[in-house]
Chain A
Amino acid sequence: MNLMGTTIDYVILILYFVFILAFGAYFARFTKSTKDFFFGGQRFSWWLIAASLVATGIGSYSFLKYAQTGFTAGMSSTMTYLNDWFMIPLFMFGWLPIIYFSRIKSIPEYFDRRFDRRTRLVATIFTLLYLLGYIGLNFYLMGLAMRSLLGIPMWFAIPVVAVISAIYVTTGGQTAVIFTDLIQGLFLYIAGAILLIYGLSHVGGLSEWWANLDVAHRLPFPGFNRPAEFEFTGIFWGEGIVGTLAFTFINQGFIMRYLAVKSVNEGRKTLTFNTLLLMPISAVVVGCIGWIAASMVTTGHINTGVNAKDIFMIVANIVTRPGIFGFVIAALTAALMSTIDTLINAVAAIGIFDVYKNYIKKEAPDKHYLRASRVVSIIATLIGLALVPAFAQSRSILQAHYAFIAMISPPMLVAIFLGVVWKRFTPKGAFWGMIIGGLLILMSIIVPDIIVPIARTHGLTDGSEANIVFEAVADGPIMGPRGAYNWQEIFTEEDGSPTDFVIEYELRSQFDGTYTNIAPVWTRFDTINGTPVQRFCANLTELKPRDNYSFRVVNRATGEAFDAVWDKGLDDDKLPIIELVDSREMPESAPGNVSRFGFRTAGEYSYFRSLFGLVVTLIAGVAISLFTKPKKDIDGLSVGTIWAAKRKFKGGEPNEVAGEKVVLDVKIVSGEEKVVYLPREAMERLKANPGDLLYIADHRKRLGGLRSNHIHAGEAHDDGDFVIMSAKSFAEGNFRDNTPVRVEKII
């Protein structure tokens, strides 16, 4: 093992692992039923769930990925985190109340109740395959991160993290997941703050950092329709519209977290706080290293020729100290564990509710299902681990997984979405829409050109583009390609000057035969914070999928030519790697380095594949529904019928008159009655009637609802200022003796 980092870094990392393991395992005592195991007893406060979602939403690879994007594209790397608000109304008033009040436990269960059993079966298979693959992929990506950052072999890092995660998820269930994610989220934010503060101080403070960024790196959005791998319209449709709907409607782990809040209103608070405040902070935390690195290029702290994929490690090494680095690595591991634990719990939920309880053992005591849930959690972890070698050994398996996600997500999303918003949507429309949509998406993966018409509506070219940008800072060497993915670097005669150089590239396409293109090389002089920068840019177009390429850099004035080659490899982002073998001659003679850049083909316009999938599934689903019969009994399962869901949830007419919260002492009486009796004055302040559903929690708000219970109100009493509760309800709520409780009316 050739380890990087210092001893103190490893001590911090080990202490962190031990702490998380003990902390997570502590919550086993609060898990007494499957409701506790999967939904934390549905008792938690909004802030606890919001904080735990931070860690779930940030994967260990997010730091590496967004540092790279922040470096190449600038602050627009935040866009994927900041464009969710447009679709929030449908979740806040549509999907959230439906799943909460209808007591939906899993996505496939909704398919059953809204459509039919065979649609549920398809959804169960799709979701399980997706989630299990995702567990394996996360283990693999974490292993990659640990290997590149610390030199720890994957065969060691992955099992250690897997065992720790599996232990606390298996024992503590959702409650352990929520509380460990709370801690891990804090760790992530603290690590991000450390990197930000150290980084900013390294480049001379906030104003210097800002001054050393060019305009493109400062803007909140990337280029409108280029480059293909990070362009505005694709992200807007793929992440802002489709991605937000997919994340909020079909992400089992996300939905289970929202089912763990004490009420729908509390879920709305979580949603708002998370979207408007925590996600922007998360975007800064994961992207700031890249933004600082972009500034450090101008100040000369970083070589412009650095590989963007290594930028996190490079900057972390520069700006942090021993111990701090260990803390940052612990935070990265926290990011992984907090994503994995959610996935394991989600797989267990589907394994129990949609497979075991639905097909294998339909009737059994809850204790039996709780034991089975723990077994399924372990199995899910083991399957995830077993998939790691496959991901590690074969890129085709990795790509198959991505392709599978692309194939199933849009059809499932359309089926749920139409099910929620359109009562006329039929079971046959859902089933065949999913099948047809999935097959057409699969076809688009095999024949990518069928996506091109949609991509073209936003100005994207038939083929892909590769932008080569080299720059010389002050009188330094010509290097690249810091701005290779930067839209502003694609300049032409309108804002640059031609050089003597051209890039000739020959394409041998299975579709178009062999032809040669020539791209002129343009140059421009810029000034960043007073530092003169000369930039050279060429824009290669019409590169088609599965083409073979050869490149040549030609000096038109002298006739000299320099061969460049595509090494036919793929980098970690699946980008083909092209290496200009000798960039010293390109385009002026100066000491430099080998430059690498990547490009995406038309088939890689993945965001537009999502849009394509949505459109074809929508057309198929709607068309079939118009000729088939809708399901009759769907009360509570679509937007216009939420009142019915509320009635079922409560077991009577909802009482939505707003009342106050009251704090009372508890008087315990023997028995198992699931009704509490409140003083008359308290009932009036609560605006509650007998039969209303109340939420009773330990009065200490900092517990976030850990000690609480939902109980119906009985008749008011006049015996004193206390709530009368049975011993069983008291125990179920994990209440403590002689501790006041806070009571509020839910519905």
Chain B
Amino acid sequence: MHVGWLTYLYQFIVGGIFFAAGVIYVIKSGSANLKLSEDRKWVIALIVGYFGLATVFAVWTILAIHS
């Protein structure tokens, strides 16, 4: 495996653990109230943002290594 993928996986797995912990914590604590449409929208935006970034970096890494 190219070292570029090692850094990618570290970033989005370890970073993802922090991210998921943060999302779960704010929901469990009641700071993000999923019954409110505004809060629900922002939680979804956070998750979409995470996967969006992961996708962009994956494409970038593929292009860097293989093009």
Contacts and interface: CB of A to CB of B under 8 A. Distances in A.
Interface in B1-54: 3-4, 6-8, 10-11, 14-16, 18-19, 22-23, 25-26, 29-32, 36-39, 42, 45-46, 49-50, 52-53
A528 interface: no
Contact of A89 (B22, B30, B37, B53): B22
Given A85-B49, A219-B4, A643-B30, A210 B67 contact: yes
A92 B22 CA distance: 10
B11 A272 contact: no
Interface in A42-96: 75, 82-83, 85-90, 92-94
A264 to B, nearest CB: 9
B19 to A, nearest CB: 4
Contacts of A236: 10-11, 14-15
Given A87-B22, A640-B29, A658-B37, A220 B60 contact: yes
A743 interface: no
Interface in A213-232: 215, 218-224, 232
A219 B64 contact: yes
Given A86-B16, A233-B10, A265-B38, A223 B3 contact: yes
Contact of A215 (B30, B37, B57, B64): B64
A639 B15 contact: no
A520 B37 CA distance: 63
A652 to B, nearest CB: 18
B63 A218 contact: yes
Contacts of B31: 93-94, 97, 639-640, 642
A209 to B, nearest CB: 12
A17 to B, nearest CB: 38
Nearest to A214: B64
A241 B4 contact: no
B30 A640 contact: yes
B64 A93 contact: no
Nearest to B65: A215
A421 interface: yes
Given A88-B46, A224-B7, A93 B38 contact: no
Nearest to B3: A224
Contact of B64 (A218, A241, A276): A218
Nearest to A245: B18
A723 to B, nearest CB: 24
Given A92-B42, A220-B61, A223-B3, A87 B18 contact: yes
A232 B10 contact: yes
Contacts of A640: 29-31
Contacts of B57: 220
Contacts of A642: 30-31
Interface in A271-309: 272, 275-276
Nearest to A217: B64
A223 B4 CA distance: 8
Given A97-B31, A272-B49, A221 B4 contact: yes
Interface string A233-248: 1001000110000000
A241 B22 CA distance: 12
Task: Specify which of A82, A221, A241 lies most central, judged by the most chain B CB atoms within 10 Å of its CB.
Answer: A221
Given A236-B15, A656-B38, A220 B64 contact: yes
B26 A94 contact: yes
A276 B52 contact: yes
A639 B42 contact: no
A94 B15 CA distance: 18
Given A221-B8, A272-B49, A90 B30 contact: no
A699 interface: no
A741 to B, nearest CB: 23
Nearest to A276: B49
Interface of A: 75, 82-83, 85-90, 92-94, 97, 210, 215, 218-224, 232-233, 236, 240-241, 265, 268, 272, 275-276, 421, 487, 639-640, 642-643, 656, 658
11 contacts: A86-B16, A90-B25, A92-B26, A218-B64, A219-B65, A221-B4, A221-B7, A222-B7, A224-B6, A272-B49, A643-B30
Given A75-B64, A89-B23, 11 more contacts: A85-B15, A87-B18, A88-B46, A88-B49, A93-B31, A219-B7, A236-B10, A236-B15, A640-B31, A642-B31, A643-B30
